[in-house]
Structure 1
Amino acid sequence: MDVKKKAKEIVKRLRKVYPDAKIALRFENPVQLLVATILSAQCKDERVNDVTEKLFKKYKTAEDFAKADLEELAEDIKSTGFYKQKAKYIKEACKIIVERYHGEVPKTMDELLELPGVARKTANIVLANAYGIVDGIPVDTHVRRLSQRLGLVKSKQPEKIEKELMEVLDKKDWFEFPYLMQAHGRKICTSKKPKCEECILKDICDAYLS
Structure 2
Amino acid sequence: MPNPLQRHDTSPILELQNVHYALKSDQDTLNIINACNLSVATNESVAIIGRSGSGKSTLLALMAGLQSPTSGDITLLGKALTTLSEDQRAQVRAQQVGFIFQNFQLMPSMSALENILMPLELFQVDDAKTKALHALEQVGLAHRASHRPAELSGGEQQRVAIARAFVTHPKILFADEPTGNLDEETAQQIQALLFELNRTLNTTLILVTHDVQFAQKCDRVLRLTQGHLSQD
The normalised TM-score by structure 1 is 0.29
Greater strand content: 2
Greater helix content: 1
